[in-house]
Amino acid sequence: MVGRLSLIALLLTGGCSSAKDDELAAAKGARSVLAEWSAVERLDGARRLPAAYADVMRDKAREALATDRKSIKDAEAGQAVDLVMDAATPGAAALAAAGTHLQQAVDRLEAR
């Protein structure tokens, strides 16, 4: 019974998830990852993080951004993510700036 209800719910709502929603979710995800990475760089710059932790967080942030990037079609936001991904060691300020571009993309997507 529960399984059947779940299936119906899945079919009913499955159609609601559009490419636009996927892009919005990815843009929001990338915006948060950039903010998380920026916080890590800021604290690491002040020598307040263990080295292993900071390194792993950077790697995880790159992985998460690479995944989100695939769904981001917005040119400006995509470029901001690419710039960060191409940089060997992006600083907290660069990451925060990229985050601003992502925020603008999120606003545009939400307005559509």
Partner 1 sequence: MKLGELFLGVLTAVGGFVDVSELVFMSQAGSRFGYALIWVVVLSTVGIMVFGEMSGRVAAIAKQPVFNLMRNRLGLRLGLITLIASFVSNLITCAAEIGGVALVLQLLTGAPMRLMALAATAAFIATVWFLPFKWIERTYGLLGLFMLVFGAALVAIHPPWGQIAGGLVPQVPHGLSTRDMVAFAYFAVALLSAVMFPYETYFYSSGGIEDEWGPKDLGINKLTTIVGFSLGSLLAIALLASAAQLFGPAGISPEMVGTVALQAGVPFGKVGILLALLGMLFAIGGAAIETCLANAYSLGQFFGWRWGRHRPPREAPRFTLSWILVFAAALVIVLTGVEPVELAEYAVVASILVLPLTYLPLLLLAGDPAYMRVHANGLLSKTLGWGFYALILVAAVAALPLFLLTSGGQL
Which positions touch partner 1 (CB under 8 A)? 1-3, 5-6, 9-10, 12-14, 16-17, 21-22, 24-25, 28-29, 31-33, 35-36, 38-40, 43, 48-53, 55-57, 60-61, 64, 99, 103, 110
* In the complex, least distance from residue 67 CB atom to partner 1, rounded to whole angstroms: 9
Cβ burial 70-104 (10 Å sphere, 16+ → b, else e)? ebbebeebbebbeebeeeeebebebbbbbbebbbb
Torsion angle, CA of 23/29/32/34, rounded to 10 degrees? Answer: -80
What CA–CA distance (Å, rounded) separates 59 from 97?
19
Nearer to partner 1, 18 or 88 (CB): 18
* In the complex, least distance from residue 79 CB atom to partner 1, rounded to whole angstroms: 19
* In the complex, least distance from residue 53 CB atom to partner 1, rounded to whole angstroms: 5
What's the DSSP call for residue 49?
Answer: S
Nearer to partner 1, 64 or 85 (CB): 64
* In the complex, least distance from residue 85 CB atom to partner 1, rounded to whole angstroms: 16
